[in-house]
Amino acid sequence: MKKTSKTLLKISFSGSKANRVIEINELIKNKKYKRVVEVFGGSCCISNNLKRDNIVPEVVANDYDKYFDNFEYHINYKEKLINQLIELGFEKSKRALCEDQKEKLQNLIIKIQDNKNLLKYLSKNFVFSAVRNMGDIKVSDFSYFMNDLSTKQDREFYINLKNVHLDSLDYKDFLQKYITFNDRNTLIIVDPPYLNSFQKQYSNGTYFGLCETIRLLKIVKQLKNDFIFFNMIEKDSIELLNLFGFNYTYNTKNTNASRNNIREDFLAYITFDEKESKRNTCLN
């Protein structure tokens, strides 16, 4: 598989698909799409990488969580906090902080207790991975001092993100605004909260159980644009796609959701081109 010479643009985000970007490049390399529309943006890393690598000329992503509102401030906040902690004698470690240090850390961040996105952004360095993946983060979850303390990667990600057109809408409105029927030049990226995960609902998001996932697939079927669909369990995802009679190829990877939690990560490439074969040799 061809590798890009540049390093991937990525930031820490629960459910990030940065590790599938090279595979997506490979899948669409002969298609010459003019536009990619990422409906459940999350970290918006797919659009950001495809645009930076000139795979498509135009990208639009749905920052439904408004994660990138004030992101520059969030990066600066992290830098300042890390420096304060180092001055107080904190040392990076995989072990939980002692009670005294935990208290100092939580006192420092108490003022941002209502800023969900900032707490989420900081959590990679301060919150145990299994807790990070469970939903909203609280100040009382901050009990570690770990992982990459630098903000270099985040700044690079954010600088490139200026080239991605961001919006923030419910997925149905977003599709209505950016997708036209039977558009062969656009690829839609569909990565909803997973059907089988605990996190069926991100903060303020729709509850993505079976009904909502079916509703979503019904809409994209009607729109007839090629799309990439992510979900969790391969067997369930295949059943769903077959139910709709889609023409697709797929690949499933095992991903470390947290330290002791390996889960399936299903990706399917659905096309509406009748000549497209059922299987694509670059998969599996």
Residues that bind ligand SAM (CB under 6 A): 13, 15-17, 40, 42-43, 45-46, 62, 64-65, 170-171, 191-193, 202, 205-206
Minimum CB distance to ligand SAM smaller for 17 or for 74: 17
Minimum CB distance to ligand SAM smaller for 85 or for 188: 188
Minimum CB distance to ligand SAM smaller for 63 or for 183: 63
* 122 SS3 class: helix
* DSSP 8-state assignment for residue 130: H
Minimum CB distance to ligand SAM smaller for 71 or for 171: 171
Task: Find the shortest distance in angstroms from Cβ 126 to ligand SAM.
Answer: 20
* 115 SS3 class: coil
Task: Find the shortest distance in angstroms from Cβ 213 to ligand SAM.
Answer: 11
Q: Among 70, 50, 63, which residue's Cα sits nearest to residue 13?
A: 63
Task: Find the shortest distance in angstroms from Cβ 68 to ligand SAM.
Answer: 11
Within 10 angstroms of residue 214's Cβ, the number of other Cβ atoms is: 14
Token pair for 169: 């809408």
Ranked by CB distance to ligand SAM, the top (closest) residue is 42
Task: Find the shortest distance in angstroms from Cβ 1 to ligand SAM.
Answer: 20
Task: Find the shortest distance in angstroms from Cβ 89 to ligand SAM.
Answer: 35
Minimum CB distance to ligand SAM smaller for 153 or for 206: 206
Minimum CB distance to ligand SAM smaller for 92 or for 135: 135
Is the C-alpha dihedral spanning 184, 176, 41, 234 positive or negative? Answer: negative
Task: Find the shortest distance in angstroms from Cβ 47 to ligand SAM.
Answer: 9
Task: Find the shortest distance in angstroms from Cβ 283 to ligand SAM.
Answer: 19
Token pair for 270: 């659905």
Q: What is the DSSP string of 189-206?
A: EE-PSPTTSS-SS-TT--
Q: What is the DSSP string of 146-211?
A: -S----HHHHHHHHHHTTSEEE---HHHHHHHH--TT-TTEEEEE-PSPTTSS-SS-TT----SHH
Q: Among 134, 136, 142, 102, which residue's Cα sits nearest to residue 117?
A: 136
Minimum CB distance to ligand SAM smaller for 18 or for 82: 18
Task: Find the shortest distance in angstroms from Cβ 189 to ligand SAM.
Answer: 7
Residue 72 phi/psi, 5° resolution?
A: -60, -45
Minimum CB distance to ligand SAM smaller for 42 or for 85: 42
Cβ–Cβ < 8 Å for 146, 94: yes
